[in-house]
Amino acid sequence: MKSIKRLQKNRFVKNIAMLTSGTAFAQILTIALTPIVTRIYPPEEYGVLSIYVTIVTLISIGAALDYQLAIPIAKNEENAYNIIVLACSVLLIVSIVIVILLLIGGEWFLNILNSPTLVDYMYLIPLGIFFVTLYKILMAWSQRVKDFKSITKTKITQSIFSNIGRIGFGFMNLGPVGLLLSHIIGQSGGISRLSKPLIIRRKEFSKSISFSKIMYMARRYIRFPLYSAPSNYVYTAGNQAPIIALAAIFGPSVVGLFGLAKSMVSLPVSLISNSVSQVFYSEIASIGKGNPKKIKELTLKLASKLAIIGLIPLIVLISLGPFLFTIAFGEDWHDAGVFARMLAIVAFAEFVIFPLGKVTGGVLEKPYIGLSINSIRLISVVLAFILAYQFGFSANLTVLIYTIVVVISYVVTFISIQVVLNNEIKKMEIKFIKN
């Protein structure tokens, strides 16, 4: 028994190390090349990219109605295949709807965000949404079969394509459209690699697909579009709200500064936390909701280790943020370092707690818990920005208020996860006693 547990633990650590190493290379490449990018593109053009990425991120969250989350936990391969088709079908429909909506009111919407520059390129939005979500669907399959090696390679591919595009298009003087195209190219990188195993299984795949099975899967996992998709949307909206609000209140220049600061301080999340989250979800999906005690033990150990790891970058950014940003990115980006001091606290909380959200939203199939917490957080963030606008707060004070609200929400999330796991453990103990 001990040898089996040791093997599972080693596999868990190995998968995390594999994903983290690939993501580390990708992020290190981005860090190394960002000083070049910030000297090619001014804050105003970087702000256009930040607004574009925010719109794509917000919509892509629910573009497949979160059905991709059911792929790793499907009972068998046949069910998983049908869920993939279901998710891709929903994505195609959503993408078409987005094109129609942009035709009707795209210019009006982008002008509200003080982003008239994006009007000429607004049809890149549905294209970005499609590729981002398709990658998520294929990655969910890779998580199911524990093909973390392929995921790792795609992270490297995405970084290389994106960074080469940003610099190449920059030297071609394409302006903000160069940043947008490089983002799309980067996000689509790796899709062919992740889809290759499914292409190899195409005969088995096609024989398993039927309309009735797809509809059954849609009903079987209806909780994901009803609760998980809205919860993830609200969660992401809370993260992306500053971009939208700062664009409307202060304009693209401040958004550019904030966008760079956010992307840099979020590196620990991108580097480790997201990789840990993918492996963690795969692991607890294997454990199943029938063993909440094991899941809780893994949850607490993971949170404590992530907190220790995240403490060093937190201290460095709070102490030296403005100085480091000025040296690395140029004088124009000094204020981004000021934002980074505050956002470092948000990044630390997200780094520690984000991976744990898969417990309630995925394995335990209680996504409504996350929806409730994230809804309260989004409302609080929106109220904070309304308050800042009404009283004419500076950009710095506005970001500080946002930081306080978000950190509190992460603490509440952690407490809620522990409460839910304790309740599940009690239920299992009662069930055991009755039997």
List, for residues 260-273, the tens digit of each pLDDT value.
998 888 876 666 66
3: enclosing H helix or E strand: helix 2-40
The Cα-based distances of 121 to 48, 106, 157, 179, 240 in angstroms read 11, 10, 25, 11, 20
| Averaged pLDDT, 273-285 | 65
pLDDT band at 131 (very low <50, low <70, confident <90, very high): very high
| Weakest mean pLDDT among 108-112, 207-211, 415-419 | 415-419
Token look-up 């620990």 returns 268
Q: What is the per-residue pLDDT for 285?
A: 66
| Weakest mean pLDDT among 169-173, 313-317, 372-376 | 372-376
What would the two tokens of residue 201 be?
A: 């299984």
pLDDT band at 359 (very low <50, low <70, confident <90, very high): low
Q: Residue 54 above 60 pLDDT?
A: yes
Q: How many residues does this entry show for the chain?
A: 435
Q: What is the per-residue pLDDT for 93?
A: 95
Q: What is the per-residue pLDDT for 31?
A: 83
| Averaged pLDDT, 16-24 | 70
- How many whole angstroms separate alpha carbon 58 and alpha carbon 129? 9
| Averaged pLDDT, 337-357 | 87
Q: What is the per-residue pLDDT for 115?
A: 79
- How many whole angstroms separate alpha carbon 120 and alpha carbon 389? 29
The Cα-based distances of 15 to 7, 62, 299 in angstroms read 12, 27, 17
- 361 Cβ neighbours under 8 A, 6+ residues apart: 69, 227, 228, 231, 232, 367, 369, 370
- How many whole angstroms separate alpha carbon 117 and alpha carbon 251? 12
- 185 Cβ neighbours under 8 A, 6+ residues apart: 161, 162, 165
Compare 413 and 358 and report the one with higher pLDDT.
413
User: Over the stretch 363-404, which tens digit does the pLDDT of each residue have?
Assistant: 555 666 767 777 888 888 889 899 988 998 999 999 999 999
3-state DSSP assignment of residue 24: helix
Identity of residue 382: V
Provide the b/e sequence for 188-204 (b: ≥16 CB within 10 Å). Answer: bbbbebbbeeeeeeeee
| Averaged pLDDT, 51-66 | 88
pTM score: 0.73
Q: What is the per-residue pLDDT for 144?
A: 85
> Which of these, 286, 235, 224, lies nearest to 83 by C-alpha position?
224
Q: What is the per-residue pLDDT for 289?
A: 61
Identity of residue 29: L
DSSP letters along 166-201, please?
HHHHHHTT-THHHHHHHHHHHHHTTHHHHHHHHHHT
Q: What is the per-residue pLDDT for 211?
A: 92
> Which of these, 250, 258, 234, 232, lies nearest to 50 by C-alpha position?
258
CB contact at 8 A, 128 and 54? no
Token look-up 């995405």 returns 158
User: Over the stretch 234-259, which tens digit does the pLDDT of each residue have?
Assistant: 777 777 888 888 888 888 889 999 98
Compare 31 and 428 and report the one with higher pLDDT.
31
CB contact at 8 A, 159 and 45? no
Q: What is the per-residue pLDDT for 363?
A: 55
Q: What is the per-residue pLDDT for 89?
A: 95
Name the most confidently modeled range: 26-30, 145-149, 169-173, 270-274.
169-173
Q: Residue 38 above 80 pLDDT?
A: yes
Query: For all residues of the chain together, what is the average pLDDT?
Result: 83
Query: What is the Cα 323 distance to its own chain's centre?
Result: 28
Token look-up 């394409």 returns 174
Count the alpha carbons within 13 Å of 45 in the hemisphere toward its beta carbon: 18
Token look-up 């919509």 returns 59
Q: What is the per-residue pLDDT for 367?
A: 63
